[in-house]
Structure 1
Amino acid sequence: MRFLVTLAIALVAACTPRGAMVLVEGVDGSAGVRQVYFATTRTPDETGFDIYGSGRQEHSSYGRFDISVPPDHTTGDITYPGPDPDPTTDFVATDRFTYATARAFQTALQQDLRTRPDRSVVVFVHGYNSTFGEGMIRLAQLSHDFDVPGIGVHYSWPSLGNPLGYSYDHDSVLFARDGLQRLLEQIADAGAREVVLVGHSIGTLLVMETLRQIEIEDRGEASRIVDGVILISPDVDIDVFRSQVSRIETLPDPFVIFHSRRDRALALSARLTGQNERLGNISDVGRVADLDVTLFDVSQFGQGLNHFPVGDSPALLAVLGSVRGLGSAFEGDLSGRTGLLPGTVLTLQNATQIILSPGTVLR
């Protein structure tokens, strides 16, 4: 049975074209260019497919790409460049900057932050079976579709980029904790006023392990350097998640979990690990009801594997993008702020669950 599940993952993934960072000069950026900084513990890609590959290195490499959004981009859609990249249809890089040292990276980030009134940073941690380019382009797409005003920083850990590399990716997550901690500390030292940490799939395990590690070193530090956390389709064992949270004195606020009972990728992951469910496809939210978290049930959205509805579903993006004042809705008693929230609100001890639906009427 395990072989059949693994084969199913491989067959589904094999139908999907892979993404890489491709630099194309002279691109008209009228449709929008997103600057995406990065730190990575991947080694350079020796195959020539991408800028960085799947090998592991203890030190981090730093840089920035300016990524062009195709002029006819459809919300929620990503088109990776092929052998003959077309900027009118594909996400491509228009410029590249390399920072030789961590200090140079931090200085560049500091100078950029000084030009922005909000001085906010969104750090994105990609998930399983991801190439360097796919994570970069995903952050550019999310920044564009949500019109994120802050600076986008991608932390690219060394995923094998292969559907059969789950064990390698799991070990790479543990390997990459120090690199993510260094990046978060560098962002804080650069003068960021607000830092939101976003993780997807098994990348959420890296997020939680890093926050736990920071907290063990300095009690209360996690919530001082990270202001908000968003876990998208978290591929994390629920008991492990509870253990991680228990070591954190105060969770960053807001602390948001997007979950879907229809997440086929997590259903397969749960079977591979001998469990009934993962945090990202939890059915009994009572298992985390005592935690100070907000759960968005997006089971009615998504397509295909339903493993990234927040980025792939135009309907869900429209719902979330239309909400005004959503950030303030996480402050205080949510039960009295239902008019700000796009769905049915359930209060479960300390946790709050918001059940979204395509027919939700926004106010």
Structure 2
Amino acid sequence: MVALAVLLLAGCAVREVMLAPPPNLYLDGQNYPTDEVPEVLRNVSPLMFYVTDRAPEETGEGKLLYGTERSNSMALGAVQVQFGAADWEDLVARTSVDGGGRISQLDVQEASELVRFADVPLRTRRQDGALIFEPEALRTYQATGRAFQEAIRAEIARTGNRRVLIFTHGVRNDFDRAMATLANLWHYEGRSSIPIAFTWPAGNSGLLSYFRDREAGDFSVYHAKEFLRLLAEIPELEDIDIVAHSRGTDVMSTAIRELVIYHRGRGVHPKTAMKGGTLILAAADLDIGVVEQRLQTERVSEAFEQINVYVNPSDGALRLSAILTSVPRLGSVTPDEVLREEIEQLKTSELVHFIRVEQVRGRGHSYFRENPAVLSDIVLALRTRAFPGGTLRPLELGEDGFWQLHPNYPLERLPDLLRVEGSDR
């Protein structure tokens, strides 16, 4: 039973490096916001970015690869993702529901490192009773941080996009799958941000792979925190949106929590310091008790405009995780496990919205990029910044306090939605 559970928990993996089926939102080629896509991004092989603490590997041909080994240093890199389309117009056609059912292959091309940080922890020494970093080691690290920021600033200048979209994956995901999933989210969102994948050393094989990947996620928290801190310190950058899936929700939420504590200690409001926009937690493999004791207690939601938690009570991977840990997981929570009063409190005071996904096929764990209804709501949340339930995100509120995401969402309200969006342009 344990072996079967571990194999099913591997459902975090996104096995097909493909463009996902189009969101319901895009009924025809006219609905994709082509006119809003920066001219330099209207192509089928866009430049995308990654930050990783996977150890670099080289093939006999000198090609840079990233596997499952850990690195004590993180790196910023760039890679082109080739969409399987003849040209931009062909890709826009494939992006729509009536595009003939043609799904594009995604080819993640060779990665190139732009900046590599020094190993952490930095050397330290004791001075006047305090433990301080060695000045030279600290200067080198800070100079690398500035180089990291300059690379992002150059992309802001090139594209005009002043928002960043971060994607963090779960277990059993390799580097290429992480980049391909980000490509899906970013392309359907309308390419209005700078796409960066935070990819940690997941993808271990074997019977205990799930547990090895969990430990690798714990290892990566510090690098995730530094990544977010350096991004937010870029003056030209306005908002940071984060989409985290499965065990990646633990990596990112722990890093966010540490930053919230750090900035409050400095006397700076977390939202101002962190530039948090929309945080999306999909199929979150998080212990509900830990969420309450560590995230809610520290008021982590104060760092964001809103937090959207997508849940599927039928998520097979998370149900097995709950059996193994004897604790319910956030991504498969039911109204019986979260009191109605607490849901209402989270929605009104902390701007946390629980969204229940209906009629998910299969094991129901990777729906955030495979389900056209879920993908539609994620796109609307990122594009419009709207809360659930309004004209721009016409979700229905259930009696239990969960927002309901029907399989045909938002088709029943699409004409009104497009009229409102059109009036805003």
> TM-score, normalized by length of structure 2?
0.69
Q: How far did 1:271 drift?
A: 1.5
Unpaired runs of at least 5, structure 1: 20-28, 77-87
CA contact (8 A) 1:325 1:340 kept: no
Separation in 1 of the partners of 2:383 and 2:163? 17
Match of 1:314 in 2: 372
Distance 1:126 1:100 in 2: 22
Pair member with larger Rg: 2
Q: 1:347 to 1:118 in 2, by over 3 A?
A: farther
Partner of 1:342: 394
Which of 106, 131, 139 aligns to 2:149? It is 106
Give the direction of change, closer, same or farther, for the CA distance of 1:253–1:6 in structure 2 (3 Å limit).
same
1:268: which partner in 2? 320
2:293 maps to: 243
Cα deviation, residue 258, structure 1:
1.1
C-alpha deviations, 1:76-116, integer Å up to 9, x for none? 9xxxxxxxxxxx95312456442134443321111111344
Counterpart residue identity of residue 77, structure 2: G
Q: What letter matches 1:279 in structure 2? A: L
User: How many residue pairs are counted as aligned between the two chains?
Assistant: 332
How has the CA–CA distance of structure 1 residues 9 and 238 changed in structure 2, closer, same or farther, with 3 Å as cutoff? Answer: closer
Amino acid corresponding to residue 316 of structure 1 in structure 2: V
**Mean alpha-carbon deviation: is it higher for 339-348 or for 63-72?**
339-348
| Higher normalized helix content (fraction of residues) | 2
- Identify the match of residue 187 of structure 1 among 231, 236, 241: 231
Structure scoring higher RCO (CA < 8 A, sep ≥ 6) equals 2
Match of 2:255 in 1: 210
Residues 16-66 of structure 1: CA distance to partner in whole angstroms, max 9, x if unpaired? 5689xxxxxxxxx98622322111111024688981111111210221111
Q: How far off its partner does 1:139 sit?
A: 0.3
Structure 2's unaligned 5+ residue stretches are 19-40, 97-102, 117-143, 417-425
Structure 2 partner of 1:358: 407
Structure 2 match to 1:3: 3
Q: How does 1:257-296 map to 2 (within 5 A)?
A: 257-275=309-327, 277-284=328-335, 285-286=338-339, 288-289=342-343, 290-291=345-346, 292=350, 293-296=352-355
Residues 141-160 of structure 1 mapped to structure 2, 5 A cutoff: 141-160=184-203
The structural deviation recorded for 1:14 is: 10
Task: Give the match for residue 214 of structure 2.
Answer: 170
Task: For residues 177-205 of structure 1, give each alpha carbon's deviation from its aligned partner in whole angstroms, at most 9, with x where no partner exists.
Answer: 11011111221223311111221100001
Contact 1:259/1:299 (8 A) holds in 2: no
- The TM-score, its normalising length taken from structure 1, stands at 0.80
Shift of 1:238: 0.6
Q: Kindly indicate whether the alpha-carbon contact (under 8 Å) linking 1:75 and 1:317 is maintained by their aligned counterparts in 2.
A: no
Match of 1:39 in 2: 51
Residue 216 of structure 1, CA deviation? 2.2
Q: Cα gap change, 1:16/1:97 in structure 2, threshold over 3 Å: closer, same or farther? A: closer
Change (3 A) 1:152 1:325: closer
* Residues 174 and 325 of structure 1: CA distance in aligned 2, closer, same or farther (over 3 Å): closer
1:168 alignment partner AA:
R
**Structure 1 residue 129 corresponds to structure 2 residue 143:** no
Root-mean-square deviation over aligned CA pairs: 3.3
Letter in structure 1 aligned against 2:361? Q
CA contact under 8 A between 1:211 and 1:222: conserved in structure 2?
no
> Which residue does 2:79 correspond to in 1?
65
State the Cα distance separating 1:267 from its structure 2 match. Answer: 1.3
Distance (Å, rounded) in 2 between the aligned partners of 1:181 and 1:138: 22
Conserved 8 A contact 1:67-1:95: no
**Identity across the alignment (%):** 25
Is the CA contact 1:296–1:354 (under 8 Å) kept in the aligned structure 2? yes
